[in-house]
Amino acid sequence: RKNGHFVVMNCASLQASDVERTLFGREPIDGASREIGVLEEAHRGTLLLDEVADMPLETQGKMARVLQSQKFERLDGINRVEVDVRVCASTSKDLQTEIEEGRFREDLFYRLNVVPLEAPPLEARREDIPILSEYFMERISHAKGRFPRVLGDDALAALQSHGWPGNVWELINVIERLNLLAPGDTTDVIHADTVMQAIGESSTDAAQVDSVLDVMDQPLREARESFERKYLIFHLTRFGGNISRTAEFVGMDRAALHRKLKLLGVQNAVRPPKVNA
């Protein structure tokens, strides 16, 4: 199939009434020309159903039958159309939950679930964030005809500490914002404070970003404890809750770090994110 077409249909971007027309095509009505659907476009190739969980239930049943027989009828048609197409699917939702709550058909799930692949969320692979950040900076800069900005080590650490609820798309948006709006010349290094501001502008939880920076209204002792607490949570989060790696980075003995975390009341504050199997 490597020489065949690779066709993508985004189920989430279509109105429910347009999904079957896009999938199956339509026979001519009132002199109009025949419409070819994506199944026929992908004949002898591959069709990717992106965000398949957003496909209407009725259409899911028809799609399950197509996967079984490789045959279907165009809308307003009576003749069977036979295709030879490999169907792949992707989704950002938990299909087992969708099935349990009646939003996704179990028969379609089992017909699609031949070779399952899971891409873990960005939060679960923080070690990739520096590489991805520099890659996206290069790509965005090239696309816009600009020089790529340099991300300092503290900036990369700040990027690693964020939770990224918007996943890779949120990271791309933050990097683009830094490329366009970070102060200074293109040769100036971007630091953590600029990153935190850019994240705050893109995040629905800007208060969390503000709290990392705002200890100025506290007495010295409380401010120091507050800073230490936030600093250690920052790096624990960065290293996915790994005490040994955190201790090595902050320059503390592992046992001493344990004692400090207990003293600050954060020994259980950070846990590695769960990844659904």
Residues 12 and 130 in one domain: no
Can you list the pairs that 32-37 forms with residues at least 24 positions away whose Cβ atoms lie under 8 Å?
34/74, 35/74, 37/74
* Overall number of domains in the chain: 2
pLDDT by residue (tens digit) across 187-227? 899 998 899 888 876 655 544 545 545 555 678 777 788 77
Residues 185 and 240 in one domain: yes
Does 15 reside within a domain?
Answer: yes
Residues 100 and 128 in one domain: no
pLDDT by residue (tens digit) across 75-97? 999 999 999 999 999 998 999 99
Domain boundary among 59, 79, 112: 112
- Among candidate residues 126, 48, 62, the one with its CA nearest the CA of residue 90: 48
Tell me, what CATH number does 188's domain have? 1.10.8.60
Residues 89 and 135 in one domain: no
Residues 169 and 241 in one domain: yes
The whole-number average pLDDT for the span 226-234 is: 80
Distance CA 36, CA 238 (A): 49
Tell me, what CATH number does 74's domain have? 3.40.50.300
